[in-house]
Amino acid sequence: MSEAESFVPTPLMLSASARARLRALIEEEGNPGLKLRVYVTGGGCSGFQYGFDFADEVAEDDTLVEFGDVALVVDPLSYQYLVGSTVDYEEGLAGARFLVQNPNATTTCGCGASFMV
């Protein structure tokens, strides 16, 4: 009889550019307790879309992922779609934005703001 395999999901990651931008935003707000909330909602061209917001409170069922002096907060419904993802920050001709590089997405829209699993 074979042994059961254990699986430990890869947590969310935060790129160096996202960390730097988050630090700058926290400093601008003057609130060192702020965290970046990442969430998934229905909608967008591909079925789901990513959202970002500041959170200074963490709910009991939220997942808190800390990266030294900055942190991400994810609700339990969104976490299942974001496991293994990297939150990044980019500046370009189209503007500046946080984005999610999600290995679970089977389809994404052209701008990368929505996805399907």
Which residues make up each annotated binding site? 45, 109, 111
How far apart CA 1 and CA 41 sit, in angstroms, is 42
Q: Binding-site residues for iron-sulfur cluster, please?
A: 45, 109, 111
Asked if 37 and 11 count as a contact pair (C-beta separation under 8 A), the reply is no
Indicate the DSSP class of residue 85: -
User: What are the Cα distances from residue 22, in Å, to 27, 43, 107, 110?
Assistant: 9, 26, 28, 25
